[in-house]
Structure 1
Amino acid sequence: MNLLTTISDWIWNPLAYFALAVGGFFTIVTRGVQFRRLPDMIRQLRQSKTTDGGLSSFQALALTLSSRVGVGSIAGVATAIAMGGPGSLIWIMVTGFLGSTCAYAEAVLAQVFKRRIHGEDRGGMPYYIRHGLRARWLAAAVALTAMIGYGFVFPGIQANNIASSANQAFGLEPWMTGVVITAILAFVVVGGTRRVVQVAQTVVPFMAVGYLLFAVVLIAMNAEKVPEALRLIVMSGLGVDQMFGGIVGFAVAWGVRRAVFASATGFGEGTFAAATADATHPGKQGIIQAFSIYIDLFLICMATGLMIIITDSYHVVNQAGGYLVDHVPGAIAGPNFVQLAIDTSLPGWGSVFVALAVLLFAFTSQVFFFYVATTNLIFLLGEKSNRFFEWIIKLGALAISFTGSVISADAMWAAGDIGYGLLAWLNMISVVLLTPIVFKVVRDYDRQRKLGQDPVFDPEPLGIKGALWWETTFRERQEQSPLAAPTVAEAPGSNGSSDIPDSRP
């Protein structure tokens, strides 16, 4: 455990700041696309549709949020407050603003280099590493790591959180919870991709809206405390609060680290869902993925943090091993903070509500992890079907679901952190190396929107190689549709206003 923890710290201590730096870099490269294109985010969700083999933007968003909105949105926020004080919430928001561009960039790349495989659109990290960077060995290493992590390790952590919260709320033995969630997961994974998507698009909106409504009720019951709580959060985050100003460095460190972990900003996790979306331009799905960061960090995480602060259901540690403040003696930083916050206004509801929230958040993450594992398996198999390995992944997901419920999660967390951290480093470095493609896509999208067009992507005049789906599947669909929009190359040629020449014969 000491060795695993040491390795994990080596990986994670600089990782959060690197993710923040990457987000700042892409904010400059894209000229703040996460702010400029906010109206487009809403428009794309409303107008999106699904086709055979592809998902609508809403379905892809739901699939992404099934991963982003997880246990970290509850436990991670509480830990940030305990270690960095109320001011850490400000830095969670800062990370959301900057980190959303990293989500944009990786989603754009996932769309550009996706493939039609067995009648379904798939893509993600290994695909743009393989076809964008042309690094076949690195793509295989990433796919293998992701398949093992998402298929046989990470789901166990989610199951353990479900089992422990159910034990605390209802007194259920972990093995009983393990049997139930494994049975439900079996029903989902045996049904294949279609059932995975159906579960995501049904459960995710329900759990997100339900959690927010409950938070709004609690905040409204303590409305008179909200102004002072907001003042405390802002002043602490800026280092000018009398009590917490001295730990502003910890506020920054823990706010950034927990925001990165909670939203998987730059980890490549959302790329697998982003690639499935049926869009006419990669930039459209890029802004949808940026929007998913807003939902997780600005709504879910901030709702959690505000519930904790306005009810004084937290403690803040100091370097000497004691507490700067200790409003909840004996409490453990994590879901316990949220349970106590709810119990202050709605006695007896805290444990039950948090247990149900953890159940929904963690289970939808398990479902998405299975989808990620199968996508990486398909990549490793050279896009060929293999029933034996497919069933290995299914059985592995079910086995770790039950095992994770009944054993201690300490070693699993440490091992999982190492795998997660390695994937994050490899993904963010790859995305930065592919910046020229991201720049071409965002510039092309902006140009078409400036001309009043519904953006349509054509990789050839942009000089982008390896975008096979767009060169075959999408082009055939456009040619077969009598109402198809003009291609990117045709549109600028008609008015001569484009700075991108038409290089086709």
Structure 2
Amino acid sequence: MSDFLSTVNSYIWSNALVYLCLAAGVYFSIRSRFVQVRQVPEMIRLMFKGEKSPSGISSFQALTISLAGRVGTGNIAGVATAIAFGGPGALFWMWTVAFLGASTSFVECTLGQIYKTRDPLTGEYRGGPAYYLSRAFAHTAAAPAMKIYGYVFAAVTILAMGLLLPSVQSNSMASAMNSAWGWSKWWVAVGTVIVLAFVIIGGVKRIATFASVVVPFMAIVYIVLALIIVALNAGEIPGVISLIFSSAFGLDSAFGAILGSAVMWGVKRGIYSNEAGQGTGPHAAAAAEVSHPAKQGLVQAFAVYIDTLFICTATGFLILSTGAYRVFEGESSDGAVIREGGSILPADAEVGPTFAQTGFDTLWSGAGSSFIAISLAFFCITTIIAYYYMAETNLRFLLGKTNTVNVPYLRGTVGSNTTMMLQALILVSVTIGAVSTASDAWTLGDIGVGLMAWLNIIGIIILQQPAYKALWDYEKQKKLGLDPMFDPTALDIKNATFWENYDPATGKDKEPASSA
């Protein structure tokens, strides 16, 4: 089974997907006139805008839900894996995919806002790739094909977010706790399930509240402590930077043979971590209460920077500056060691959180394992919660009008009963993942990410134009000194049915026109 999964993963994560991700980022950057550079001050300002309503959450809460999905084991174990199998240069390619991916994130998240809808079961805003893929072309001859495309994406997302990806997070968390404190993985699984059940059953509002408190706190603590260690090793930084760039372009003879691996692992782990182009960000973006879709598009673009340029970089510099790494030939820990960072890693150290744990131990001997275990506990739990929210959103899409249909003998609607089944599925996935081997868990996770990325990037390349119309409109209104308000009809954006019936100035649905 492991060989079969690896073969499937190799086809999905071929060079074609790597180059598609990079090329799409370049294209969206040029089309948007490098919005990820021009609008950074506006991104930061908008993050803390407090608009919210009974149906929608604030921009900051939407950002934290998005970050909850992004900031997880990929920021710690993922960075270590990229360095181990792609060399230090993989970190440069993670930066590259983050910079380019910020423009991709803007496009997909703005589309998520434009084509969002109100959940008939809960009244909450819902949206994402399945929604914009099926709605944007509803007035054209391509409508049937794009609707099927939307359904396929929704089904793949439920599979990835409800079954494949949660197991990666719980596996890393359980392994770190077992390593740090000797806790049984089964006990970790049970404790995680209890916490998750309490939060996810409370709906998007409770998810947003939980994420808005936990994610910023843990991200700041992790970055600060990592930077303290990097500062204590300041003398190593010039050499680390030189090593990253020489490895990224194969200038160091030791890394010349794995140049392709540096690009592959940098892009793969970069997208796994920041999720730009994967189609996850639009789900959280659509839940926000804003007066103009571009606002949340800009906020979500900055989320990519927070994830990769801040948190992943902190991990990378921590590992490299302390020498807590090994680079292997053949993209496997069974291969020959190409470069040993130092002598501080245990001889039998597994590729993953151990690299970061050993790096932290240089500051507090013996405390590194505990700190990483605690960090992963918070990061992974919030990530799984975000996964559930995205899986539920796509379940709502698939059910459509049947959401509110009562089911005889089950004392609930189709939507409420299938939601309970999804909640059970993700809790089972977490339990199985916690006690499984790491290799299969990561392979399944990569398959889920890759399938979503293929479908979403092709989709937003086809659909991109409404996002640019929203951006130009937003910038035009800002130049006039206005708080931008969105009117899809004026911009000739079709099928944005939520906005057609919504007054952004009042935050309420428009009053029906009175008959004469």
TM-score computed with the length of structure 2 as normaliser: 0.89
**Structure 2 residue aligned with 1:3:** 4
What is the identity, as a one-letter code, of the residue corresponding to 2:130? P
Aligned pairs for 1:35-54 within 5 A: 35-54=37-56
> Which residue number corresponds to residue 199 of structure 1?
210
Task: Check whether the contact 2:485–2:505 (CA below 8 A) recurs between aligned residues.
Answer: no
2:369 to 351, 363, 366: 351
Candidates 461, 464, 481, aligned match of 2:493:
464
How many Å apart are 1:241 and its aligned residue?
3.9
Question: Residue 338 in 1 paired to residue 356 in 2?
Answer: yes
The percent identity for this pair of structures is: 40
Checking the alignment, whether the CA contact within 8 Å between 2:95 and 2:308 is kept in structure 1 is: yes
Supply the distance in 1 between the matched residues of 2:169 and 2:322 (Cα, whole angstroms): 28
Structure 2 distance, partners of 1:17, 1:472, is 40
Worse-matched range after superposition: 265-274 or 135-144: 135-144
Letter in 1 for 2:127: G
Letter in 2 for 1:467: A
Q: Does 1:95 align with 2:109?
A: no
Match of 1:147 among 146, 153, 158: 158
Partner of 1:490: none
CA separation of 1:264 and 1:161: change in aligned 2, threshold 3 A? same
Q: 1:278 to 1:355 in 2, by over 3 A?
A: same
Equivalent position SS for 2:362: helix
**CA 1:307 to 1:478, structure 2 compared with 1: closer, same or farther past 3 Å?**
closer
Contact 2:171 2:441 survives alignment (8 Å) = no
Q: Which residue of 2 aligns with 1:500?
A: none
SS in 2 for 1:389: helix
**Does 1:222 pair with 2:224?**
no
Q: Corresponding residue for 1:485?
A: none
d(CA) in 2 for partners of 1:243 and 1:154?
34
- Matching residue of 2:337: 323
2:135 to 128, 131, 137: 131
Q: By how many angstroms is 1:42 displaced?
A: 1.1
Aligned-residue offset at 1:359: 0.9
Deviation at 1:439, TM superposition (A): 2.2
Aligned AA for 2:356?
V
Distance in 1 of aligned mates of 2:330 and 2:497: 54
1:365 equivalenced with 2:383 (yes/no): yes
Conserved 8 A contact 2:323-2:359: yes
2:479 to 440, 447, 450: 450
Q: State whether residues 129 and 136 of structure 1, in contact with CA within 8 Å, keep that contact through their aligned partners in structure 2.
A: yes
Partners of 1:156 and 1:428 in 2: CA distance: 25
Matched-pair contact (CA < 8 Å) for 2:196–2:385:
yes
| AA partner of residue 66 (structure 2) | T
Equivalence for 1:20:
22
Structure-2 separation of matches of 1:63 and 1:40? 20
CA-to-aligned-CA distance 1:370-428 (integer Å, 9 cap, x gap): 11111111111115233211211122222222232223354444344323322211111
Compared CA separation, residues 416 and 236, structure 1 to 2 (3 A)? closer
Matched, 1:375 2:376: no
1:417 partnered with 2:443:
no
CA distance in 2, matches of 1:409, 1:24: 34
Measured after TM superposition, the shift of residue 254 of structure 1 is 2.0
Which residue of 40, 64, 67 maps to 1:65? 67
Alignment partners' CA distance in 2, 1:140 and 1:97:
30
1:261 aligns with 2:269: no
Equivalent residues of 1:110, 1:271 under 8 A apart: yes
Amino acid at match of 2:8: I
Structure 1 residue 364: deviation in Å?
Answer: 0.5
Q: Which moved more, 1:210-219 or 1:230-239?
A: 230-239
Instruction: Give the superposition deviation at 1:476.
Output: 8.0
What is the aligned counterpart of 1:407 among 423, 428, 436? 436
The worse-fitting range, judged by mean Cα deviation, of 144-153 and 241-250 is: 241-250
Letter of the 1:371 partner, please give it: Y
**Superposition deviation, residue 242 in structure 1:** 5.6
Task: Note the residue ranges of structure 1 that are not aligned, 5 or more in a row.
Answer: 482-505
Moved more, 35-44 or 229-238: 229-238
Q: Does structure 2 retain, via aligned residues, the 8 Å contact 1:48–1:279?
A: no
Superposition RMSD on alpha carbons, in Å? Answer: 2.0
Any idea what the Cα deviations from partners look like across 1:305-325, whole Å, max 9, x if unmatched?
Answer: 000111111112235942222
CA contact (8 A) 2:49 2:60 kept: no
* Distance in 1 of aligned mates of 2:338 and 2:356: 20
SS at 2:494 equivalent: coil
* Pairs within 5 Å for 1:242-281: 243-244=254-255, 247-281=258-292
- Tell me how far apart the structure 1 counterparts of residues 107 and 348 of structure 2 sit (CA, whole Å): 43
Q: CA deviation at 1:471?
A: 0.8
Q: State the aligned residue count.
A: 481
Gaps of 5+ in 2: 138-142, 405-413, 511-516
Task: Give yes or no for contact 2:84–2:328 (8 Å, CA) kept in 1.
Answer: yes
1:235 aligns with 2:275: no
Question: What is the Cα deviation at residue 172 of structure 1?
Answer: 0.7
2:421 aligned with 1:392: yes
Letter in 2 for 1:105: V
The one-letter code sitting in structure 2 at the alignment partner of 1:324 is: I
The answer to whether the Cα contact below 8 Å between 2:168 and 2:438 also exists between their aligned partners in 1 is yes
The answer to whether the aligner puts 1:208 opposite 2:219 as a matched pair is: yes
Deviates more, 1:138-147 or 1:236-245: 236-245
3-state secondary structure, aligned to 2:502: helix
Residue 285 (structure 1) aligns with? 296
Of 73-82 and 467-476, more deviation after overlay is shown by: 467-476
Range that drifts further, 30-39 or 208-217: 208-217
Q: 2:193 is matched with which residue?
A: 182
- Residue of structure 1 in register with 2:125 after alignment: 121
Q: What letter matches 2:110 in structure 1?
A: V
In the alignment, structure 1 residue 110 sits paired with structure 2 residue 121: no
| Aligned residue in 1 for 2:503 | 474
Q: Is residue 2:181 matched to residue 1:170?
A: yes
Distance, in Å, in 1 between the alignment partners of 2:175 and 2:308 is: 24
Secondary structure at 1:325 match in 2: strand
Which residue in 1 is equivalent to 2:408?
none
Cα drift, residue 478 of structure 1: 6.0
- Alpha-carbon distance between aligned partners in 2 of 1:476 and 1:233, rounded to the nearest angstrom: 49
